[in-house]
Copies of this chain bind each other. A is one copy, B any other.
Amino acid sequence: MLTGLKVIAPASVSNLACGFDILGLALDYPGDEIVGRWTETPGVHIAELTGFKKDIPLDPEQNIACVTARALLKHLGEENRGLELKIKKHIPAGSGLGSSASSACAAAVLVNELLGRPLERRELIPFAMEGEILASGTPVGDNIVASMIGGLVLVRDITTLDFHRIYMPPGLFVAVLLPDVPIHTKSARAQLKPDVSLPMMVRQNANLGAFVMGMQNSDLELIRRSMKDLVIEPQRSHQVPHFYDVQRAAVDLGALGCSISGAGPAIFALCQEKLQAENILAAMQQVYTDHKLEALCFVAGINREGVLKK
């Protein structure tokens, strides 16, 4: 193959307020792009890294896409192949939007496609996880599963690939404000309190169960009541400048829910339709403008297909 193959793996919102380490939602924008082609030189190499390059290692031992590609090649008995990757990062590292998961999923799908698709999408997940563990330190699969298969997913147990697509009512959009404050997933996780009070666990649990029911029954008001994070958000909000002001702006304009995506600092608002999402985004952005703070702001729809092959 001369020209190479291009794949795009979507960004994802994780936790979704009530589902810490369990829920993931794939966005139709942005997504990391990888173009790959076989080369004569054995091993996986990065030929080009563009886009949000900051904090992305070029060392193949440290780069998530390379680690994933190598793990999959090895599993398929193709470890002597030479593979050259051109990576275009559209998702900043340390954003809370599944940047590492996206690169890992893109690399796994790319290798699988280059080899004539020997594996199913779900079978690629353990290899993408190998890359993801580099970034997060723990095998949490919410971003990986969302980016790989798309849609809204619940991960019961990533080690046994026990994950499930949750039905979502059509037409939902997400407004995202990404402050210019990088957060390192591993240390963000280490800072969380080790325990939760039993009553808090019950309330968080009840919200997750109700959220699943709300989605499956298209009960938007139930979704709205359930998208509350009593456990993690209070511990992370201080790392996200003016988080509560942004959240209030979104909720006041009717967002179904607004919280920190993953370890942050991205703030997401789940919205009923596109125009509402644009209005909500403007109000969220205004908070940052008022404080003369920089943020990347965008509205995204839901990616329902996972990694796309171009």
Contact = CB atoms under 8 A, between A and B. Distances in A.
Interface of A: 19-23, 154-157, 162, 164, 166, 192-198, 201-202, 204-213, 216, 222, 225-226, 231
Nearest to A221: B162
Given A156-B226, A166-B213, A213-B212, A198 B206 contact: no
Instruction: List the 9 closest A-B pairs by CB distance, nearest first.
Output: A195-B195, A156-B210, A156-B206, A212-B212, A21-B202, A201-B201, A22-B206, A196-B201, A208-B209
A236 to B, nearest CB: 13
A23 to B, nearest CB: 8
Contacts of A202: 20-22
Contact of A231 (B20, B201, B208): B201
B198 A198 contact: no
A154 B208 CA distance: 11
A187 to B, nearest CB: 16
Contacts of A19: 205, 209
Given A164-B213, A210-B162, A194 B196 contact: no
A171 to B, nearest CB: 21
10 contacts: A20-B202, A21-B202, A21-B206, A154-B209, A162-B222, A164-B210, A196-B197, A204-B205, A209-B211, A209-B212
A204 B194 CA distance: 15
Given A198-B192, A198-B195, A198-B196, A155 B205 contact: no
